Structure 1
Amino acid sequence: MSGPSRRSLARALETLDDFADPSVALEQYLTPPEIAAHVCHQARLTGDLDGWVVDLGTGTGMFAIAASLSGAERVIGVDVDPNALAVAQSNAARLDAAEESGFLEWVRADATQPPLSGPVDDATVTVFSNPPFGAQRGNRHADRAFLETARSIADVSYTIHNEGSQSFVESFAADEGGDVTHAFRAEFPIEQRFEFHTEGERTLEAEVFRIEWA
């Protein structure tokens, strides 16, 4: 499967619009273009874009659009927020992502309870997700729910987590018959967007995991 270079993909993703009115409760932060480009480039080289691609909690559409531009033919972006999906649709239209992909659809649904069953037509399913890190009160372990959904529908998943999550992710995967095949650190820049942010911009250390599910 051919596709753009990681650098050119990142440059294209840098043009995507951010959330117009980000939600604190949903922990809506823009997925860094560099991370999305790196992950989708890796997925293309590994053959993980050959089946269905599902972006859980797609937000502004970063992973879904990146997968489409990378050559995935069947992509679904799922998010509970209709305003975020409107931004995602606009972003995809501006980059002609739907033209690059044979199928790009946006679904309004709770990403932890998506109206999906997989695999579809016996095809493989790859999940991408930048779930909430669980930083807000009542959101602790929010990323676990996304992993549970990935486990239920995916053959392979790529998820972003807060620094220090490796033991949790590996333990969860092992308990569910999965195997963490790749893990790497990534910088996650966060611009000031909520009242409790006291810095103009800060960078979190994040961890990205590729899991093969049995």
Structure 2
Amino acid sequence: MKQRKLEMLLERVEGFESPSAALEQYATPAVLAAEILHFAYMQGDLEDTVFDLGCGTGILAIGAKLLGAREVTGFDLDRKALETARRNAESMGVDVEFVHADISEIEGHAHTVVMNPPFGAQAKGNDRPFLLSALRTSDVVYSIHNSGSHDFISRFIGDARISDWYTTAFPLKRTFKFHKKDVEIINVEIYRIMR
């Protein structure tokens, strides 16, 4: 499936009903979700099992399944977001399991993790538990981080290694009262990390 077709399909995924600023619940835009998923697909990393950590309403998990992943599981702490994710998967006609779990309690193993973790805007270091769980539960990790995170991630991942990374745009829609613009384009970095 071409990236643009995937993006058009993912535009139908419903976002958060009442997002939490404390949990940094920013919906991953379809354009960015399609970009990171297509990147993983082209590397052959979406053929087997996939975990989406902090899956929110399921856009990355659903996209991974649309691209042919054998088995996909999304994990999130927010039960309402998981209800929305289940509805989204059903409306898209894909079989994805969604599990209520704290990021530190995730068990099992997947070949690949895809995630858009909190950037730490509300509480510094919020991305660290996500990286730790991703490295503990998978062989390869695809993750979105604030621009300028390369040095931190390189040090934080220990023996794992960054095989690829690049900067791209994240069109952040006005989600909370403190946002001033309807859409703000922020630079983010997409990482492929291998254990």
Identity of aligned residues (%): 41
Q: Return the alpha-carbon distance in structure 1 between the equivalents of residues 111 and 124 of structure 2.
A: 27
Q: Return the alpha-carbon distance in structure 1 between the equivalents of residues 40 and 116 of structure 2.
A: 15
Q: Give 1:110's match in structure 2, choosing from 98, 102, 105.
A: 102
Q: Return the alpha-carbon distance in structure 1 between the equivalents of residues 134 and 152 of structure 2.
A: 15
Q: Return the alpha-carbon distance in structure 1 between the equivalents of residues 121 and 161 of structure 2.
A: 26
Alpha-carbon shift at residue 45 of structure 1 (Å): 2.0
Q: Give 1:134's match in structure 2, choosing from 88, 106, 120.
A: 120
Deviations 1:86-142 (A, max 9, x none): 1111111111122xxxxx20000112321x122xxxxx5200110101111xx2111
Deviations 1:59-86 (A, max 9, x none): 0101100000000010000000011011
Which runs of 5 or more residues in structure 2 are unaligned? none
Amino acid at match of 1:36: A
Q: Give 1:144's match in structure 2, choosing from 108, 128, 131.
A: 128
> TM (normalized to structure 1)?
0.88
Q: Tell me the C-alpha RMSD between the 2 structures.
A: 1.2
Q: Return the alpha-carbon distance in structure 2 between the equivalents of residues 49 and 209 of structure 1.
A: 15
Which runs of 5 or more residues in structure 1 are unaligned? 99-103, 119-123
Give the secondary structure class of the aligned counterpart of 2:118.
Answer: coil
Amino acid at match of 2:125: H
Q: Return the alpha-carbon distance in structure 1 between the equivalents of residues 103 and 17 of structure 2.
A: 20
Whether 1:188 and 2:170 are equivalent positions in the alignment is yes
**Match for residue 91 of structure 2?**
94
Alpha-carbon shift at residue 212 of structure 1 (Å): 0.5
> TM (normalized to structure 2)?
0.96
Give the secondary structure class of the aligned counterpart of 1:140.
Answer: coil
Give the secondary structure class of the aligned counterpart of 1:21.
Answer: coil
**Match for residue 155 of structure 2?**
171
**Match for residue 101 of structure 1?**
none
**Match for residue 24 of structure 2?**
27
**Match for residue 185 of structure 2?**
203
Moved over 4 A (4+): none
Give the secondary structure class of the aligned counterpart of 1:18.
Answer: coil
Number of residue equivalences: 195
Amino acid at match of 1:166: H
